């Protein structure tokens, strides 16, 4: 089974690094989608079937927290697993986001193994 993954980060370089890491981790991909901020991410979610969202917290226009809140308020989007990929790592923020449905938190910089592990766990849970 292949998966559609949405990568949301305001840095094109980081989006490319995450995409390359997913490829190196040999995650079975149907399509990779990218967005530069939460608003663009919500637009992609509105028109594409997405199995997993990887999102940064701090972005212009709409950050990751606001995007997660919008997803949480939408019945259908609330079911899409979200993983935060960010340099920000305060325990308070992580707990706040977990309460809003975020499934995992990956701290930048990350290894391909860590990313693969988190993605595999979430997608396996989704298929159970």
Identify the pLDDT of residue 127: 67
pTM, full prediction: 0.93
CATH number for position 30: 3.40.50.2300
Output the DSSP codes for the chain: --EEEEEE-S-HHHHHHHHHHHHHTT--EEEEEEESSHHHHHHHHHHS--SEEEE-S--SSS-HHHHHHHHHHSTTGGGS-EEEEES---HHHHHHHHHTT--EEEESS--HHHHHHHHHHHHHHHH-
Identify the pLDDT of residue 81: 95
Identify the pLDDT of residue 124: 81
Using an 8 Å Cβ cutoff, are 105 and 125 in contact? no
Name the stretches of the chain with pLDDT < 70. Answer: 126-128
| Angular region, 101: left φ>0, alpha ψ -120 to 50, beta rest | left
Identify the pLDDT of residue 70: 94
Identify the pLDDT of residue 74: 87
Q: What is the tally of structural domains in the chain?
A: 1
Q: What is the mean pLDDT of the chain?
A: 91
70-98: pLDDT as tens digits: 998 988 888 999 999 988 777 888 888 88
Domain range for residue 123? 3-127
Cα–Cα dist 78/54, whole Å: 14
């Amino acid at each position: 089974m292949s998966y559609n993954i949405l990568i949301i980060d305001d840095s094109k370089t980081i989006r490319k690094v995450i995409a390359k890491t997913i490829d190196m981790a040999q995650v079975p991909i149907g399509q990779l989608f990218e967005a530069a901020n939460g608003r663009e991410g919500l637009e992609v979610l509105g028109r594409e079937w997405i199995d997993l969202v990887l999102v940064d917290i701090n972005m212009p226009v709409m950050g990751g927290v606001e995007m997660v809140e919008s997803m949480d308020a939408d019945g259908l989007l609330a079911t899409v697993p979200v993983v935060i990929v960010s340099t920000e790592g305060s325990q308070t923020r992580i707990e706040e986001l977990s309460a809003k449905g975020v499934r995992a938190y990956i701290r930048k910089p990350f290894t391909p193994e860590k990313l693969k592990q988190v993605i595999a766990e979430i997608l396996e849970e989704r298929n159970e």
